[in-house]
Amino acid sequence: MKKQFAVLSVLIIFVLSIPVYAGVPMTTAEASVNRVLDVLRDAKLKSPAAKEIKKEKLRIIYKDMFDEIEFSKRTLTRNWNKFSPAERVEFVKLFEQILEKSYIDKILDYSNEKVDFYKESMLSDNQAEIQTKIITSSKEIPIFYRMILKDSKWKVYDVVVENVSLVQNYRTQFNDILGKNTPEQLLEILRKKVKAQ
Amino acid sequence: MRIGYMKTYLTLIVLFIFLAVGCAHSPSTSSTVLPQAKSSPQPILLASNAGEIPVKSSSKPGDAIDDEYKDDQNLDYANDTFNEEKVEIADPLEPFNRAMHQFNDKLYFWALKPVAQGYKKVVPEPARISVKNFFSNLGFPNRFLSCLLQTDFSGAATEFGRFTINTIWGIGGLLDPSSNKELDLQKQDTDMGQTLGVYGVGQGFYIVWPVLGPSSPRDSIDIVSEYFLYPVSYIYPLYAWLGVRGYQEVNDTSLRIGDYEALKDAAIDPYVAFRDAYIQYRLKKVKARKAKLAPSKPQEVNSLTDDPVLLKKEN
The Cα B213–Cα B170 span in angstroms is 31
What is the signed CA dihedral for B152, B154, B157, B161, rounded to 10 degrees? Answer: -130
The pLDDT value recorded for residue B250 is 96
The confidence score (pLDDT) of residue A37 equals 86
Q: Are residues B180 and B229 in the same domain?
A: yes
Inside any domain, residue B88:
no
Q: Which of B50, B54, B58 has the CB atom closest to A194's CB atom?
A: B50
Whether the Cβ atoms of residue A152 and residue A146 lie closer than 8 Å to each other: no
With both helix axes pointing from N to C terminus, report the angle between B153-168 and B125-138 in degrees, rounded to the nearest 10: 130
Query: What's the pLDDT score for residue A13?
Result: 60
Give domain status of residue B82, yes or no.
no
| Most confidently modeled range among A26-40, B54-68, B80-94 | A26-40
Whether residue B6 sits in one domain with residue B142: no
Contact B77 A74 (CB under 8 A): yes
CB contact under 8 A, A168 and B280: yes
Name the burial class of residue B140, with classes exposed (0-12), middle (13-18) and buried (19+) by CB atoms within 10 angstroms of its CB: buried
**pLDDT above 90: residue B78:** no
Mark whether B55 and B152 lie in a shared domain.
no
Q: Is B204 exposed, middle or buried (0-12, 13-18, 19+ CB in 10 A)?
A: middle
Residues B121-142 pLDDT 10s = 999 999 999 999 999 999 999 9
Q: What domains can you pick out in chain A, each with its CATH number?
A: 2-196 (3.10.450.710)
Q: Residue A23's pLDDT band (boundaries 50, 70, 90)?
A: very low
Question: Which pLDDT does position B14 carry in this prediction?
Answer: 55
Task: Give me Rg for the CA atoms of chain A.
Answer: 20
DSSP A44: G
What pLDDT is recorded for position A152?
Answer: 83
d(CA B241, CA B232): 7
**Which of B39, B50, B84 lies at the smallest CB-CB distance from A195?**
B50
Examine the predicted complex and report whether its ipTM is higher than 0.95.
no
**Domain presence at residue B18:** yes
Cβ <8 Å between A15 and B77: no
For the cut 60, the answer to whether the pLDDT of residue B300 exceeds it is no
Crossing angle of the two packed helices B94-107 and B270-293, in degrees rounded to 10: 90
Q: Is the pLDDT of residue A135 over 80?
A: yes
**Does residue B57 fall inside a structural domain?**
yes
Q: Let me know whether B168 and B289 are in one domain.
A: yes
Average pLDDT rounded to a whole number, residues B60-78: 62
Q: Give chain B's domain count.
A: 2
Residues B199-248 have pLDDT tens digits of 999 999 999 999 999 999 999 999 999 999 999 999 989 999 999 999 99
Residues B175, B245, single domain; the answer is yes
Which among B69, B89, B251, B275 is the top mutation candidate for probing chain A, defined by the most A β-carbons within 10 Å of its own β-carbon?
A: B69
The DSSP bridge partners found for residue A153 are: A150
Which residue did the predictor score with more confidence, A42 or A20?
A42
Predicted confidence at residue B33, as pLDDT, reads: 36
- Tens of pLDDT, residues B178-204: 888 888 898 998 999 999 999 999 999
What distance in Å separates residue A176's CA from the closest CA in chain B? 8
Residue A142 CA, distance from chain mean position: 15
Closest to A81 (Cβ–Cβ): which among B28, B71, B269? B71
pTM above the 0.80 mark? Answer: no
pLDDT on residue A109: 79
Q: Looking at residue B262, what is its pLDDT?
A: 85
**Is the confidence at residue B41, as pLDDT, over 70?**
no
Whether the CB of A84 is below 8 Å from some CB of chain B: the reply is no
Q: Please provide the average confidence, as pLDDT, over all residues in chain A.
A: 84
Alpha helices in B40-124 (DSSP H): 41-47, 64-67, 94-107, 113-122
Of B67, B85, B110, which closes a domain? B67
CA atoms within 13 A on the CB side of B82: 25
Same domain, yes or no, for B287 and B183?
A: yes
**Using one digit for the tens of pLDDT, what is the confidence trace for B150-165?**
999 999 999 999 999 9
Query: Could you tell me which residue, A181 or B71, shows the higher pLDDT?
Result: A181
Cβ-nearest to A137 among B55, B64, B129: B129
Q: With 80 as the cut, is the pLDDT of residue B54 above it? A: no
Q: Shortest CB distance from B309 goes to which of A99, A122, A172?
A: A122
Distance CA B61, CA A24 (A): 31
More confident residue, B111 or B46: B111
pLDDT tops 50 at residue B26:
no
The verdict on B109 and B225 lying in the same domain is: yes
For residue A8, the chain B residues in CB contact (below 8 A) are 9, 12-13
Give the model's pLDDT for residue B5: 60
**Residues B70, A89: Cα–Cα separation, whole Å:** 10
Confidence of residue A182 (pLDDT cuts 50, 70, 90): very high
Chain B CA closest to residue A175: B272
For A128-168, give the DSSP string.
Answer: EEEEEEEE-SS-EEEEEEEEEEETTEEEEEEEEETTEEHHH
* Pair B177, B252 in one domain: yes
Statement to judge: residues B31 and B145 lie in one domain: no
Average of pLDDT values for A132-155? 87
Please determine, for residue B114, whether its predicted confidence score (pLDDT) is greater than 90.
Answer: yes
CB contact under 8 A, A163 and B284: yes
pLDDT of residue A139 exceeding 70, the answer is: yes
At residue B298, does pLDDT exceed 70?
no
pLDDT at A20: 45
Q: List pLDDT tens digits, range A82-109.
A: 999 999 999 999 999 998 888 887 888 7
Confidence at B32, pLDDT banded by 50, 70, 90: very low
Identify whether B252 is part of a domain: yes
Substitution target from B68, B89, B187 for chain A, most A beta carbons within 10 A: B68
- Name the residue with higher pLDDT: B26 or B256: B256
Q: Which of A8, A121, A167 should one mutate to test binding to chain B, selecting the residue with the greatest count of B CBs within 10 A? A: A121
Q: Do A77 and B258 touch (CB under 8 A)?
A: no
**What's the average model confidence in pLDDT over B161-170?**
93
Measured in whole angstroms, how far is the alpha carbon of residue A90 from the centre of its chain?
A: 19
Q: In this structure, are B98 and B209 located in the same domain?
A: yes
Domain annotation covers residue B87: no
Q: Are residues B138 and B263 in the same domain?
A: yes
What confidence score (pLDDT) does residue B43 get?
37
Q: Is residue B74 part of a domain?
A: no
DSSP per residue over B138-159, as a string?
HTHHHHHHHHHHTT-HHHHHHH
Q: Identify the domain containing residue B6 by its residue range.
A: 2-67
Per-residue pLDDT band for B38 (boundaries 50, 70, 90) equals very low
Whether pLDDT at B303 is above 50: no
Is B258 found in the same domain as B177?
Answer: yes
- The domain boundary residue, chosen from B67, B102, B123: B67
* Host H or E run for residue B227: helix B217-229
Judged against a pLDDT cut of 50, whether residue B30 lies above it is answered with no
